[in-house]
Amino acid sequence: MHPESCSSSNVEATVNACVIDEEESDSQTPDLLCRAQILNDSPRSSSMSSALDELFSHEATLITECAGESYNTAAILHYCRKRIIKPRDIIFSFFGYRPWSKDGADLCLCMRAFSVLYCAFLLLFLAWGPVLQYNICLRRDRGVSTEPMKHLNGSVSELKEDFYSNKGNNDGKDSCSGSLVFGYVVPSIMFLLAYLVTCLVLRCGEPEHLQTLLERVYLISACSPWEQMKQRRLGCAWVTWLVLGLLCLALSLTSLALHLAAAAPHLPFTIIQPSDTADKIVLCGLALGSLWVGDGAMVVGVLLYCAQCHLLCTLLGLIRTTLLQGAISLHSAKKQIDESSRFLRHLNQELGLSVGLYLCVIGFRAVTAFGQVFSVIREAEATSLNSSKRMFPAGEEMSSIKEPEIEWLHLAAVITNLLPWLLLMAVPLFMAARLSSAYRALSKMGCQLHARPFGYQSTPQTDIDSFLLYVSCLSLKAKILWIPVRTYFLVSLLVLSVMAVAILSYIYT
């Protein structure tokens, strides 16, 4: 606030009233009536009018997509709540990560009962999903089959025998291929355990860490004169996380739909036998819905960790930039680094546990999907794709099995099943390594200040030495399952993955 614009106490009171009205208002444009009131109450002079215009631009401007350079605190908090916090709360409530509420207010008895019932229904729906999945013999890597690719590799006599035996035993139940324990039970238990741990962390822990960190980053970036720290880039980052999550969910749903499309002529039912086509559609829809909701809960849990890592990296970048420009005292920089370590502690101890369990599930699915890609490619090379119809004696004809189309559907299904798990595996590891690199770069700030002391020429040398010792002793880094994640860790993991791919491709081809 400029001194020359504060000469009249009447004007100050009117400006403060306008700022309060803006904080309580839900509109997206500045209140022009308040500005007119300021001009009416002020002296009729051009200098005072220009001073009031500058005062208003610094104190009473709401954030919009095309806003100016400076914003007040109330407008920034209003923007964070409306544009980011409210959509986040709705998504978290939908997946059971927080109770249903309105603007964080105390819940009435009806809303509490609804939240408890909704959470119980969602947990039951996710737990019933593996049963429905086993009912149609659906595996994320292989698809729907009692024996993988048997209908493509079997001889005509075997197919004829299976056709007549199934024709005479229509009431018999099929059995799914693979191990029931390791193919269906173990992956489901791993996912449910990770989901329950995430619910406990987000419901019983401190739920406002993300909101506090978000508001702090937006407030600091609003005062930053550097273009790369504007709120527009932070908003684009949130849109990027949202698009990435929707992309993973779309790929997951596409792979499940392709698996069902490839198995449509011979869809088995092991537990619940449908009576007509409508029952088959309902059973398949419930199975797909439960699996897809579980994938959505996993995507939200992983992207929450990535978003907090990104906000912490942005906060550390702001601290480094202000230190290099000499725009902050060393004592204030120490205080901000200590506050960032508190956010990092929550990230490592609580979210690091939940995202680590999710990464175990994602890694399991990625490895099995990757192995199935090689298996399908090898089987496709060994299978003849010429015949499109098989005839049987006595004038009976088996329904046409278009082998090339089924194989291409199966190959597309296993590839689209692999892509989302690779993305969800790589992104949190990359963000954790980036956060560790940001703290390591911050630990070198003391040496940089010694080399460039222009911004702190008036600061005593003892304070600079104390800050150098403080940042040099920083050993802060991102951890997943209490394992530090660094850049060289990711490079080693990438080299091992490339070697594994090369070995598998040599063995399977």
Asked if residue 320 and residue 257 are part of one domain, the reply reads yes
Identify the pLDDT of residue 173. Answer: 53
Asked if residue 371 and residue 242 are part of one domain, the reply reads yes
Categorize the per-residue pLDDT at 121 as very low, low, confident or very high, splitting at 50, 70 and 90. Answer: very high
Closest CA to 263 of 132, 179, 397, 152: 152
- Model-level pTM greater than 0.85? no
Categorize the per-residue pLDDT at 178 as very low, low, confident or very high, splitting at 50, 70 and 90. Answer: confident
Closest CA to 343 of 318, 384, 311, 371: 311
Q: Which residue range forms the structural domain that includes residue 11?
A: 3-72
Q: Does residue 471 sit within a domain? A: no
Per-residue pLDDT tens over the stretch 470-485: 888 888 899 999 999 9
User: Distances from the Cα of 88 to the Cαs of 64, 117, 232, 350, 426, in angstroms?
Assistant: 19, 21, 18, 18, 23
Asked if residue 142 and residue 36 are part of one domain, the reply reads no
- Distance between CA atoms of 343 and 51, rounded to whole angstroms? 40
Per-residue pLDDT tens over the stretch 208-267: 778 888 888 888 777 665 544 566 777 788 889 999 999 999 999 999 998 888 887 677
- Distance between CA atoms of 315 and 229, rounded to whole angstroms? 10
Q: Where are the alpha helices (H) located in 8-85, listed in sequence order?
A: 9-24, 32-41, 46-59, 73-80
- Distance between CA atoms of 480 and 344, rounded to whole angstroms? 12
Q: Does residue 238 sit within a domain? A: yes
Question: What φ, ψ does residue 59 adopt, rounded to 5°?
Answer: -120, -20
Asked if residue 366 and residue 229 are part of one domain, the reply reads yes
The CB density around residue 76, as the number of other CB atoms within 10 Å, is 19
Asked if residue 146 and residue 31 are part of one domain, the reply reads no
Asked if residue 104 and residue 55 are part of one domain, the reply reads no
Q: How many structural domains is the chain composed of?
A: 2
97-111, 218-232, 325-339: segment of lowest average pLDDT: 218-232
Per-residue pLDDT tens over the stretch 408-439: 788 888 899 999 999 999 999 999 999 999 99
Q: Does residue 335 sit within a domain? A: yes
Q: Does residue 403 sit within a domain? A: no
User: Distances from the Cα of 338 to the Cαs of 104, 348, 445, 463, in angstroms?
Assistant: 27, 15, 15, 17
Q: Does residue 139 sit within a domain? A: yes
The answer to whether the beta carbons of residues 209 and 344 sit under 8 Å apart is no
Residue where one domain finishes, among candidates 18, 40, 72: 72
The CB density around residue 352, as the number of other CB atoms within 10 Å, is 24
Categorize the per-residue pLDDT at 365 as very low, low, confident or very high, splitting at 50, 70 and 90. Answer: very high
Asked if residue 294 and residue 205 are part of one domain, the reply reads yes
Asked if residue 207 and residue 63 are part of one domain, the reply reads no
Categorize the per-residue pLDDT at 296 as very low, low, confident or very high, splitting at 50, 70 and 90. Answer: very high
Residue where one domain finishes, among candidates 19, 40, 72: 72
Average of pLDDT values for 195-220?
A: 84
Identify the pLDDT of residue 120. Answer: 92
Q: Does residue 392 sit within a domain? A: no
Identify the pLDDT of residue 220. Answer: 79
Strand ranges for 325-443 from DSSP E = none
Task: Return the structure tokens found at 315.
Answer: 């906060």
Asked if residue 66 and residue 99 are part of one domain, the reply reads no
44-48, 65-69, 312-316: segment of lowest average pLDDT: 65-69
Asked if residue 317 and residue 210 are part of one domain, the reply reads yes
Closest CA to 366 of 410, 408, 412, 417: 417
Asked if residue 281 and residue 141 are part of one domain, the reply reads yes
Q: Does residue 416 sit within a domain? A: no
Q: Does residue 86 sit within a domain? A: no
Q: Map residue 414 onto helix, strand or coil.
A: helix
Asked if residue 198 and residue 63 are part of one domain, the reply reads no
The answer to whether the beta carbons of residues 288 and 352 sit under 8 Å apart is no
